Amino acid sequence: MARFSLCDVNNAYASFERVFDPSLEGRPIVILSGNDGCAIARSAEAKALGIEMGEPAFKLRRFEKDGLVMLSSNFPLYGDMSARVMAVLATFSPGIEVYSIDEAFLDLSGMPQADMTPWCREVKATVQRWTGVPISVGVGSTKTLAKLANRLAKKSKKADGALDLTADPAWLEPALKRTPVGDVWGIGRQFAAKCGVEGIRTAWDLSQRPDGWIRKAMGAVGLRTVMELRGIPVLDLEVDAGDRKSACVSRTFGESVEDLDSVKDAVAEFAGRAAARLRRDGLLAGAVQAFAMTDRFRKDEPQASIGMTLPLAPASNATPAITSLALSAIERSFRPGYRWRKAGVLLLDLVRPEDVPADLFAPPAPVRSDALMKAIDELSDRMGRGAIGFGLRSEDAAWRARSGNRSPSWTTRWEDLPVVKA
CATH number of 169-230: 1.10.150.20
Which residue stretches of 180-316 are H helix? 189-197, 203-207, 211-229, 260-281
Q: Is pLDDT at 362 greater than 70 in this prediction?
A: no
pLDDT tens for each residue of 398-410: 888 777 788 888 8
Q: Indicate the fold that domain 4-164 takes in CATH.
A: Alpha-Beta Plaits (3.30.70)
**pLDDT of 261 above 70:** yes
pLDDT value at residue 393? 65
* All structural domains of the chain with their residue ranges: 4-164, 169-230, 247-383
Q: Alpha helices, DSSP H only, in 51-96?
A: 57-60, 75-89
Mean pLDDT of 309-324: 92
How far is the C-alpha of 353 from the C-alpha of 50, rounded, in Å? 50
Over residues 157-198, the pLDDT tens digits come to: 889 999 999 999 899 999 999 999 999 998 888 888 888 888
Q: Name the architecture of domain 247-383.
A: 2-Layer Sandwich (3.30)
Cα 70 from Cα 364, distance rounded (Å): 51
3-state SS assignment for residue 313? strand
On whether the CB atoms of residues 317 and 373 are closer than 8 A, the answer is yes
The span from the CA of 130 to the CA of 123, in Å, is 11
State the pLDDT confidence band at 87, using cuts at 50, 70 and 90: very high
Give, as one character, the DSSP assignment of residue 141: S
Rounded distance, CA 89 to CA 100, Å? 14
Residue pair 248/317 in contact by the 8 Å Cβ criterion: no
Task: Report the C-alpha gap between 301 and 287 in whole angstroms.
Answer: 32
* pLDDT level of residue 359 (50, 70, 90 thresholds): low
Read off the pLDDT of residues 26-59 as tens digits, 9 standing for 90 and up.
999 999 987 888 999 999 999 999 999 999 999 9
